């Protein structure tokens, strides 16, 4: 009896499914089961009455024990537990595929632009998210009472600092740090106190650039912008300049490129105008050069501020700006892991 009990316990601990437990039950407790038929293995005639009684008691005990052990094994498997013994390993199963992260679409566009500008001998700078009033406004020819301060709604911090409203805040820092001549770009995150909707975010990315040298003219500005855009869009692009006002450039422009979808004929994307407004730019204002310790009679330069978020929307056809900060994997997983 003890042997049968040990054997049953062992088999139950290894059973990995309810079907296996049922087979074991039939084997031990079924009509022809080894427990059911225990009485056939003994010779009652040769037993005294005490022995017979003892056999009957132990026979009932093992049956009760077996019922309980079977019920426990069933319960364990119903709760999703596997075999209680060592887990069987199926070496033929395919391995689990680990998921790799991918680069954010704005990072992809930023990396591409950095490469293009490095090819034209521009250095890449960074700047600070938390800026002083001086670099974000005053040094850019935007004094305290200037109406331009209201053009940009600013997140002010309690210590008098602010979240930079544009990457232009890094212009004078770069000139101070590197001197002239200078070719530099500085991409980064900007913050504005804006109501968020499909095309407005309170945090977005710009890529600012400037070039200062002797005799830099608007022609240089146009040439560099055309080189940049034709590399980003992988074909020659036609651009035009319209007057635009920014206190830190003079003259200031809005640079448009001929619509890449309709080639200037007029379509939905360019609102039938044939042109797409791409980036604000201009010749650096003498006061900005002065703020950076550079003599505007000796040196001149251009500056531009490209909306990285906007460019990523155009390049990848993203219709909704809020997706970029959503952290939604269904969106993010659509972009290639490397450029």
The binding site for ligand PHE (CB under 6 A) comprises 166, 168, 208, 246, 249, 252, 280-282, 303-305
Residue placing its CB nearer to ligand PHE in the complex, 25 or 310: 310
Q: Are 191 and 163 in contact (CB under 8 A)?
A: yes
Task: Provide the CA 179 distance to its chain's centre, in angstroms.
Answer: 36
Residue placing its CB nearer to ligand PHE in the complex, 35 or 142: 142
Sheet holding 275-284, edge to edge: 123-124, 182-191, 203-213, 300-307, 275-284, 249-258, 239-243
Residue placing its CB nearer to ligand PHE in the complex, 8 or 207: 207
Length of the chain: 339
Give the shortest CB-223-to-ligand PHE separation in angstroms: 17
Residue placing its CB nearer to ligand PHE in the complex, 105 or 247: 247
Give the shortest CB-214-to-ligand PHE separation in angstroms: 20
Residue placing its CB nearer to ligand PHE in the complex, 188 or 305: 305
Give the shortest CB-204-to-ligand PHE separation in angstroms: 10
Residue placing its CB nearer to ligand PHE in the complex, 292 or 305: 305
Angle between helices 2-14 and 49-78 (to 10 degrees): 0
Give the shortest CB-206-to-ligand PHE separation in angstroms: 6
Residue at shortest CB range from ligand PHE: 305
Give the shortest CB-106-to-ligand PHE separation in angstroms: 16
Residue placing its CB nearer to ligand PHE in the complex, 66 or 278: 278
Give the shortest CB-320-to-ligand PHE separation in angstroms: 21
Give the shortest CB-138-to-ligand PHE separation in angstroms: 15
């Amino acid at each position: 009896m003890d042997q049968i009990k040990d054997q049953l316990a062992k088999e139950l601990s290894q059973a990995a499914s309810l079907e296996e437990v049922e087979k074991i039950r039939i084997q031990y407790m079924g009509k022809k089961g080894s427990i059911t038929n225990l009485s056939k293995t003994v010779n009652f005639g040769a037993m005294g009455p005490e022995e017979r009684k003892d056999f009957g008691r132990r026979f009932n005990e093992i049956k009760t024990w077996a019922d309980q052990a079977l019920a426990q094994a069933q319960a364990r498997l119903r709760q999703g537990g596997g075999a209680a013994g060592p887990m069987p390993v199926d070496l033929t199963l395919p391995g689990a595929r680990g998921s790799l992260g991918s680069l954010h679409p704005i990072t992809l566009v930023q990396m591409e632009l950095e490469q293009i500008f490095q090819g034209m001998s521009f250095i890449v700078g960074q700047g600070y998210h938390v800026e002083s009033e001086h670099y974000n406004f005053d040094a850019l020819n935007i004094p305290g009472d200037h109406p331009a301060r209201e053009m940009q709604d600013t997140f002010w911090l309690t210590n008098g600092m602010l979240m930079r409203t544009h990457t232009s805040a890094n212009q004078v820092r770069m000139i101070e740090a590197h001197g002239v001549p200078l070719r530099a770009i500085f991409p980064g995150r900007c913050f504005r106190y804006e109501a968020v909707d499909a095309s407005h975010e309170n945090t977005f990315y710009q890529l600012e650039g400037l070039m200062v040298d002797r005799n830099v003219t608007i022609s240089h500005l146009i040439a560099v912008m055309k080189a940049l855009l034709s590399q980003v869009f992988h074909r020659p692009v036609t651009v035009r300049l319209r007057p635009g006002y920014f206190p830190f450039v003079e003259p200031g422009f809005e640079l448009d490129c001929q619509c890449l979808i309709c080639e200037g004929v007029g379509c939905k994307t360019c609102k039938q105008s044939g042109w797409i407004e791409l980036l604000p730019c201009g010749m650096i204002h003498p006061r900005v050069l002065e703020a950076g310790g550079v003599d505007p009679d000796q040196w001149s330069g251009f500056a531009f501020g490209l909306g990285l978020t906007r460019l990523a929307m155009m390049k990848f056809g993203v219709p909704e700006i809020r997706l970029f900060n959503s952290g939604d994997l269904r969106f993010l997983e659509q972009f290639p892991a490397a450029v």
